Amino acid sequence: MLLSIRAKLTILFLLFAIIAGFAIAAATSNHLRMQSLIADEDAGLIEIYNLSKLISPLAAENVANAIDKYMIASLDHDLLTYAANTTTELKEIMNAVNEVIPKNDRGLSLFQNIHNRKIGPLHLFQFLYIAPFKFLILSAR
């Protein structure tokens, strides 16, 4: 039985609407995930500074300067490209955190927390590096 042109167009547009709906849902999900990772990164940087101030006030100045350079550099680039363009600033933060040395028992108890928070910005970097290739990875299956 032959379908009329109207029926064929209806089926075609229905399939297009379903596929477009999935694409929009995936894009929205990625956007929300990226917003969440950016918020986690910012909170982690604030916590890194506050912990470094408690552990070693002298080293906190270096950490604050490294975080300032990183945040300024991240605003100089597009959202999807700033991960690739701010690796040197991120390394400066990691080095500044590594220079924080506990001076007392209280600082020693907080020492592991500051190193755990160093991982936060790396999650966003991983997401931003993989995001452009997600479609290629999914379509290759």
Structural domain harbouring 49:
41-139
Averaged over 128-134, what is the pLDDT? 64
Q: Which amino acid is at 97?
A: V
Query: Is 20 a member of any domain?
Result: no
pTM over 0.75: no
CB 111 within 8 A of CB 67: no
Residues 5, 98: Cα–Cα separation, whole Å? 69
Question: 47-103, pLDDT tens digit by residue?
Answer: 999 999 989 888 899 999 999 999 999 888 887 777 788 889 989 999 999 998 888
Query: Is 10 a member of any domain?
Result: no
Question: 15-44, pLDDT tens digit by residue?
Answer: 999 998 988 888 888 788 878 888 888 888
Residues 6+ apart with CB under 8 A from 44: 117, 118, 120, 121
Query: Is 29 a member of any domain?
Result: no
